[in-house]
Structure 1
Amino acid sequence: MKGLYVRQSGKLVMAVALTLLSVSISAQVLDSPVATVRLSSTEVITQRSLKQDVQRYEEQLGRALTVEQRREVLDAKINEVLLKQGADRANVTVADSEVSEVLNQQKAQLGAAVSDEQFRRLLEQQTGMSYADVFEQIRRTLVQQRFLAESKRDVINPPGASSRLPAPSEVRKVYEENQTNFINPAMSGFTHIFFDSRNLSEQEKSELLARAQAKHDEIAGGKTSFQRAVNAAMDDSSVQAGDFGYIVRGDQQAMALLGSSFVDAVFALEEEEVSEVIESNIGYHIIKVTDKRAPRLLEMDDPIYPGQSLTVRMQIIQYLQQQKQQERFQTALQELIGELREDADITIFEERLNW
């Protein structure tokens, strides 16, 4: 009985070994290389990783990619490997602090109310990656950008390029082709006396509203002028006053902050008119409209926004300069990739683009 058991056990071991070998072979088939790339080291691009990228593009486009389009995706992956290995070979690095600076700039665009933890969760939700993976992805992008800038400095920024202005005819052409896009919407600028009700109890809000109403009654009854009330409020730490700036009709950010009823109330006032007490999402206001503007098309030398120095002409010049810069950047990138491809050993298994 013991010998029989041993022999059966041997068969069992052999069966397990064959099963493991089968699994290993299956994994290799599933992970068949679709390309190998060697510049400073050999890197394999597997069919599985290519399929994942192709699937993401197909989900975005809502259709299947052709074999030629799959090859384009593969070429992009090869280029990414070449840029990474080229940067490694050139000892191009990016410090953690530089990556953090990029992330902090992105966080700042969301407003001061977003905490570090909320920002991390938002990044993970939007990218489908862990925060650590996002961090490293940004590092890789910065490394590639620095490698390109250092390798093709004369192509990206040739002498005199930054000071070279587009021809007046180019500026005029862009303006005329996009004239209907250069428009100021309806907007109202105003000065206000503001009673902040945030973080107050209902009782405190009622008391604050009574104070605001009393101040309005003083102005309306002629005991003081609106401007004198503004000046006095500037010396009162419990009240805020001064120039608010402009509210633009349809500004979603303003409506989210202040409330659509407040925005509507502002636009209902005429220029130089002093309001009743108006409630917003953040408190109570007494406002005086100082500038009321109807929608209008902008001329070439009009400011983009009231009170700003940037004109339509200046914005078009900046756009054309950025367009030229982007063209030089793409030229430099194609030159660099071409040089890296000439220096690299690349094998592509074309038949594995069909699945």
Structure 2
Amino acid sequence: MKKRKIALAACITGAIALTACNDDGNADNDSGEEIANIDGTSLTEEALTNELKNEFGPQLFNQMIQDTILRQQAEELDIGEEEVDSELEDMREQMGVEDDEQLLEMLQMQLQIPVDSIDELKEDFLLPQVVIQELSTAEVDITEEDKEDYYEENEEALTEVEVRHILVEDEETAEEVLSELEDGTSFEDAVEEYSQDTASVPEGGNVGSFPQEGHQMDENFAEAAFELDVGEISDPVESQMGYHIIEVLDRNETYEELEEEIESSLTQEQSKSPEEVVQELMENADIEITDSNYEDWLEEPGAMAM
């Protein structure tokens, strides 16, 4: 959702900026200065900017209105540098990068988001995101009783285990690894020597925590993990990726252990969607189109894309 917004905005912002640059402060400038000649056919700056305006103008027009409203809301909510920096740190953690240079490179190369600086990222992407998050949860009201009821109704599904594993290609190798563990080889050493899960090897085979329901793990893997006690090591478990030796490192199943996850789930259930937030802001904003040429460009709030 946001990636598309930034990519589009960056592209068409450049287009409108080009138009403004061509005007040189003179709205009547229609000189049609040539910028290219193709086998005798002239391509003018005016033709280029008109094409860009016709192609992207309405989208950018509505996006600029939306962004203006969100920035006004940031001021009203007194959202400052601290909140935006916290969002930036969350983004670094989610994307598994340690510094700003790596983050920008990943955004530009892998996600095709054309942000050139952290300041631009914070201003054009993270600030509006913080505004929407705050407004989406503004009316959320979760009581202790709500959380306790939710726990009682979903106790089994909420239970989480933290596990590490060793992934090998066949059952024979898995049995060999299990035998070495029983003879005293440390799990970390066995991970280093045998595991084919390269993503988890640096973490000693740790793949993190996941709930009993709603997880993304292989079903055979998950079922075996939830049958183990903390510190217990499984027999070889077959999955689509091969054979696993699994050890449960921790289990969260009490209300106290799961309270944070419960509150997060209830908050998500009660929150407004980003689309609802923006639609309400647009409906409540006093938007006056002062140039009749642009009256048809303004979209109805419900039709605006995020």
TM-score range, shorter chain: 0.3 to 0.5
Structure with more contact order per residue of length (Cα contacts < 8 Å, sep ≥ 6): 1
Instruction: Please say which structure displays the higher CA radius of gyration.
Output: 1
- Taking structure 1 as the reference length, the TM-score comes to 0.39
